[in-house]
Structure 1
Amino acid sequence: MKLTAIAAVARLSVGLTLGAAAAAALAQEAPKYGGTLDVATTNTAVTTLSWDLADWQATLQTRDTGQFYEQLFAVDLTKAKSRGGKYSFTIGGWQPTDAIRGELAETWNWTTPLTLEIKLRKGVKFPAKQGVMAERELVADDVVYSFNRMNTSAKRTQGYYDHVDKVEAKDKHTVVFTFNKFIADWDYRFGNGFFSGIMPKEVADAGAGNWKNVNGTGPFMLTNVVQGNSLTFSKNPVYWDKDVIGGKEYKLPFVDRVVHRVIKDETTQHAALRTGKLDILSSISAEAARELKKSTPELKWNRWLTTTANRVALRVDTKPFNDVRVRRALNMAVNKQEIIDKYYNGEAEMFTFPMHPEYVGYHQPLKEQPASVQELFKYDPAKAKKLLADAGYANGFSFKMQVCTCNPDQMELMPLVAAYLEGVGVKMEIVPMEYGAHLSAMTSHTNAAGYLTGIPDVNPTTSLRINFGKGQVYNAPMMDDPKLDARVAEANGERDEKKRQQMLREMTTYVLDQAPAIWMPAPYRYTAWWPWVKNYGGEMFVGAGRFAPIHARIWIDQDLKKKMGY
């Protein structure tokens, strides 16, 4: 992409949008069993860092362990747009209230304001795993064990389970959570979040960090790992779930195997899709999508707005970024509208973080924000220079900014940002880092004064806490604001959602005004798949980073694939 080119705004078609009639027609096709589903995920360039849930890794671990470690809740895929519903299910960590489905949980209810009782599905089984465990039923003790193991881990996220006094097995299939206070995202914390997988004790005893030992109740079993190349998941023969298609009930999963391809180079990803080596490619830039639509017109498409908006976190505990004037100046020095128009060719939105536009009721549009927030998104180098001079940096300064080599878009975008900053006398030295080192720098709070992050907002009740709360793992700006922490905690304890939404909107405005990062536009991305991939409409997540139930419902039309020459 030539950054200096004056490109006209060229928006692609939204792609496949199935209404109720189309979904009904789709439902008449009879599923076919067998075959392999080859996929490249939204973060296909990097591999899992740990298989042990108690290591408290996030997105990538859940992406892969989520194929076999199930959770208490997921989403109801019958409410997807491709099935006649209203949800796209492209948001990684938020499940709409009216679309939550019990996964391992069959029913749940509050028996008192602080006591939650969950009835587990009966007959859900862990498959036999040689050298690890015999086939057996999931029971309440497994949920209790998983919770206690996560809560006592030395690597646990600070304060994550502080709202829970105890978790007990009332009987074989009933789990009781006793809270010491209500929090609005209770279902996310230990139900459908990044740290919610249910793992049997036998796996921990055998060694949970060894991929050969992992075993869960999900639709697939991990059967092979080729480091840096692929992960192979085979059908769980005793999987419990079913799908109703055309009025008939079918046992899941349909495919025999799912293979996650690890492909670092985007050009190679696109070539693998074009040649049919990939059935689904989940994250494609708008520019690449335009070319693929020309070269491979048979592909089906879905367009979605990323929740991982780029932003250069500025450590507020480090000079010169301990001065809010400097942080605001850097925001005004970057021409964000030009980035949208020329870099993204119009395929981006200005304001999506820390409350994504799809969080209805929680997101307050930029035009409704106060002038002090709006000016952070306007290009004003003259005012930026004045703010820098007022802060004692009339001659500018230099700082290091760490970026992950795993994200080609970020690697290409940052030199442009650096050029804008040079225009006001600030030199940003870009420090490329491999994924593991880059993530470790933030989670250990040893990141540089500047740190490029795209940690998602996750969900509306979690975003402010995890990204800006004192001591939080993903708080790259190192904010330490008692007022913010107290108000966010108060909002999360509010049972009335309307009141909670208002409180979080106010705190979002407060954080934006503090400018602990250079706020950047968020691009649209595209998912593409071949017509032989059936019962699929571009859905990506059923919980935080998980998509196993989506893959379990896909079947491959082998006859169509052969007819198309693949």
Structure 2
Amino acid sequence: MIKKMMWILVSCLMVLSLILASCGTTETTGGAEEDEGDDKVIITETETGGTKTEEKEETPVSSNEPQYGGTLSVVLGGDIMGFDEGTTPDYWDVAGHLTHDELLEGDWAQGPAGTGKFTWATNDVYRWDSKSGALAESFEIIAPGDMIFHIRQGVNYGLNSNSEASRLVGGRQMTGDDVYWNIDRWLNIEGSQVARSARDMANAIVVTQLDDWTIQITVPTDQAIYLASYLVDWCSVIPPEIVSTYGNMNEWQNSVGTGPYFITDYVRSSAVTFERNPSYWQTDPVGPGMGNQLPYAENVKYLILADASTREAAVRTGQIDVYFGVTVDALENLTGTAKDLIIKQGIPAASSSIGMRTDKAELPFSKKEVRQALMMAIDYDTIIEEYYYGEAQLPSFPIVPEPELMDAYLSLGEAPEIVKELFSYNPEKAKQLLSASGYPGGFKTSIICTNPMVDYLSIIKDMWAQIGVELEIVTEEIGAYNSRWASRNYDEMFYTLWPSSGTYVRMLALTGTGVGQNLSFINDPKVNETKSKMLEAFAAGDQAEVDSLFKNLMPYVLEQAWCVQSPIPYTYAVWWPWIKGYSGEYSPGICNEFRWAKYIWVDQKLKREMGY
């Protein structure tokens, strides 16, 4: 059986987001001892004793009625990168997801707790119909690219009497002037995600404060997607006086927001501790606690554990309540001793596949038939069954089969025969295509990757050798590799993580020259025309038209074989039964990791009865 390696986790280092994943195993069983001396969390496993045994009684049943109190503990695989979105991109400011609010956020009532339209299992749902009002009570599209936001009244900044910065703000009401000031800051401060990734929108946008509580934002129609993705459901509101007093909010002690929690402690590379904001403005929008003031949990704790085996030990012994990005291998390791864990299967938002220089006429990859031959020479069925243990899917490019994207996704069952043939192992047909393209004996090529990717690419190398294609695998250290990825600086082939599926409206996988996008150097008139139509439809709020345009283009895109696809493996979220009101959500909205924490509650009685 082909040995499975966790190469995909390392490739995800290129993605500008925190990875909460697991690899590695441990031979011990039993409980864990937690030492919180000096606030540093150290988790060790022991051979005897502990909080849990293998011969455990059936899980006790407890009430599903929401309750207040308790602590929710989650884990980060890396340290906090900053506390001010003006200087730190939002996806690195994961503490801010609990301490601050944005204008809009993912609609919890449309998630598993409500209608189930969205899973909130990834962080890249770029859809107007997925959003609900947060600091903007409501919004309206009055014309394509022209929107009005009605700012919520009666929202106060949290008042933490132990914080000098919070006392400075004094728990005052957030105002429309604050929102206008923050928008201006997002657009102009050099470190913000808007300034980094949506410069054209920032330069073209017109922001007008119509009255004390109403703001109008107008952008060109082809930039409206950036308004949705980088402005209103990404950037959070802070009190201007914090910046005028301290210069920025880089230090956690200066963190003041309208969010459901305060930061009360941060120990670098160890833990972040949050305390409930008793004056939070939001109520539970759905379910048995509908109308209750949020949040429910008294405290939230981010444990920062870089070592995978330590993270798994913490999960198994109940020190971590919720854990994401679990691979099949790690899942078996976790549930072998922690049999009460609740498991939910999901699919990552992005896949790793082979990009190539299709723009160089002198290279074989400039010919469609050669690219098709490379795909036909891969035995995808065997790879899925033996390398991924049957837990993977195709197609994985240019989008993956996320539930939120199924109206835009073209499955193999729906695809025309020519596309189905590309995923069917046919080395003889592949040889014929190479011969007809001027490569009767095959050719030599090279691919750049990192060490953890070699195992998978060695399989591809062996399969391509059967049709005369000699592949040289060139490994680089992660820094040099990421630089190549960002600048698209490679001569032939590059094995990489492609843009997140949620970016499909912008077609980052198929167009453009920006950081980490269009990794096969595609410049196709049909694709470009469809992209323009999709952006216009998005600006008008017509999601059905956006999805229809994209899906109708997919037979053509997949036939071109611009990317030699790899199957995308499933991952899993796991959590303990005492976490209630939860269904595996990861990010309600765009890069809103852990924002779901305000909606869930900890069944403390059940946790005690289970021995934790």
Does the alignment reach a TM-score above 0.5? yes
Structure 1 counterpart of 2:74, from 35, 39, 46: 39
Partner of 1:169, secondary structure, is strand
Say if 1:498 and 1:531 are closer, same or farther in 2 by CA, change over 3 A. closer
Counterpart in the other structure of 1:542: 588
CA distance in 2, matches of 1:397, 1:127: 62
Q: Secondary structure at the match of 1:519?
A: coil
| 3-state SS of 1:560 partner | helix
Aligned with 2:550 (options 501, 504, 512) = 504
The structure 1 residue matched to 2:316, chosen from 260, 274, 281, is: 274
Cα distance change of structure 1 residues 215 and 394 upon mapping to structure 2, 3 Å threshold: farther
1:241 aligned residue (282, 298, 308): 282
Partner residue, 1:142: 178
Instruction: State the superposition RMSD in angstroms.
Output: 3.6
* Matched letter for residue 108 of structure 1: F
The separation in 1 between residues aligned to 2:556 and 2:199, in whole angstroms, is 23
Q: How big is the shift at 1:183?
A: 6.4
Q: What letter is aligned with 1:281?
A: Y
Pairing partner for 2:515 from 459, 469, 473: 473
Report what 1:53 is aligned to: 85
By how many angstroms is 1:234 displaced? Answer: 3.7
Measured after TM superposition, the shift of residue 453 of structure 1 is 0.5
- 1:198 aligns with one of 237, 259, 267: 237
Quote the Cα distance in structure 1 between the aligned partners of 2:325 and 2:252: 26
Report the CA distance shift for 1:552/1:477 in structure 2 as closer, same or farther (over 3 A). Answer: same
Contact 1:157 1:472 (C-alpha < 8 Å) held by counterparts: no
Structure-1-length-normalised TM-score:
0.81
1:162-220 deviations in whole A, cap 9, x for unaligned? 79530122223211112343767476235565x44334445555235555544432223
SS of the equivalent of 2:197 reads: coil
Shift of 1:339: 1.6
Q: Quick check: 1:376 aligned with 2:419?
A: no
Q: What letter corresponds to residue 426 of structure 1 in structure 2?
A: E
Paired with 1:102 and 1:471, the residues of 2 have a C-alpha distance of 34
| Counterpart in the other structure of 1:516 | 562
Of the three residues 192, 201, 207, the one matched with 1:167 is 207
Aligned pair in 2 of structure 1 residues 297, 373: CA closer, same or farther (>3 Å)?
Answer: same
Distance 1:274 1:418 in 2: 38
Q: Structure 2 vs 1, CA of residues 398 and 294 (structure 1 numbering), >3 Å: closer, same or farther? A: same
1:97 CA drift (Å) = 5.9
Maintained 8 Å contact 1:403/1:452: no
Aligned-partner Cα distance in 1 for 2:495–2:199: 24
Residue 55 of structure 1, CA deviation: 5.8
Counterparts of 1:220 and 1:447 in 2: how far apart (Å)?
45
The 8 Å contact of residues 403 and 453 in structure 1, kept in 2 or not, is answered as no
Q: Which of 285, 288, 294 in structure 2 is aligned with 1:252?
A: 294
- After TM superposition, the structure 1 = structure 2 runs for residues 77-96 of structure 1, keeping only pairs within 5 Å, are 77-83=108-114, 85-94=116-125
CA gap of 1:164–1:395, structure 2 versus 1, over 3 A, is same
The within-5 A match list for 1:7-156 is 28-35=64-71, 37-40=72-75, 44-47=76-79, 49=81, 51-54=83-86, 57=89, 60-61=91-92, 63-83=94-114, 85-94=116-125, 99-112=130-143, 115-127=146-158, 130-131=164-165, 134-135=169-170, 136-152=172-188, 156=196
Contact 1:163 1:182 in 2 (8 A): no
AA of the residue aligned to 2:85: L
1:411–1:400 distance in 2 versus 1, CA, 3 Å: closer
State the match for 2:571 in structure 1.
525
Does structure 2 conserve the Cα–Cα contact (< 8 Å) formed by 1:88 and 1:539?
yes
Report how far residue 228 of structure 1 moved.
4.5
Distance 2:278 2:451 in 1: 39
**For the residues of structure 1 that align with 2:484 and 2:241, how far apart are their CA atoms?**
33
The residue type equivalent to 1:166 in the other structure is V
Alpha-carbon distance in 2 for matches of 1:140, 1:324: 54
**1:31: how far off?**
0.6
Unaligned regions of 5+ residues in structure 1, if any? 6-24
| 1:332–1:384 Cα contact (<8 Å) kept | yes
Does the Cα contact within 8 Å between 1:62 and 1:544 map onto a contact in 2? no
Cα pair 2:165 2:253 within 8 Å, conserved: no
State how far apart, in whole Å, the 1-side matches of 2:417 and 2:448 are.
28
Q: Distance in 2 between matches of 1:115 and 1:4?
A: 50
Structure 1 segments of 4 or more deviating over 6 A? none
Cα pair 1:442 1:476 within 8 Å, conserved: no
Q: Are 1:493 and 2:527 matched, yes or no? A: no
The size of the alignment, in residue pairs, is 534
TM-score (norm: length of structure 2): 0.76
1:364 maps to: 410
Work out the CA distance in 1 between the residues paired with 2:203 and 2:553: 21
How far apart, CA to CA, are the structure 2 residues paired with 1:33 and 1:497? 40
Which AA in structure 2 matches 1:53? Answer: E
Change (3 A) 1:4 1:306: closer
Q: Which runs of 5+ in 2 are unaligned?
A: 6-60
Deviates more, 1:237-246 or 1:331-340: 237-246
1:309 maps to a residue whose letter is S
Classify 1:247/1:192 alpha carbon distance in 2 versus 1 (closer, same or farther; 3 Å).
same
If you compute each CA radius of gyration, which structure gives the higher value, 1 or 2? Answer: 2
What percent identity do the matched residue pairs reach? 24
Deviation, structure 1 residue 450: 0.4
1:402 aligns with 2:449: yes
Closer, same or farther: CA 382–499 of 1 in aligned 2, 3 Å: same
Change (3 A) 1:120 1:181: same
Name the amino acid aligned to 2:158: P
Pair 1:332-2:376 in alignment: yes
**2:498 and 2:509 in contact (8 A); partners too:** no
CA drift of 1:119 comes to: 0.8
Distance (whole Å) between structure 2 residues aligned to residue 88 and residue 27 of structure 1: 24
Q: Which whole-Å deviations, capped at 9, do the CAs of 1:219-259 have from their partners, x for residues lacking one?
A: 23445555544444443454322226646643322223323
| Other-structure match for 2:463 | 420
Which of the residues 324, 330, 337 maps onto 1:295? 337
Match status 1:554 vs 2:554: no
What is the alpha-carbon distance in structure 2 between the residues aligned to residue 76 and residue 144 of structure 1? 23
Q: 1:381 to 1:160 in 2, by over 3 A?
A: farther
Q: Is the 8 A contact 1:118 1:176 kept in 2?
A: yes
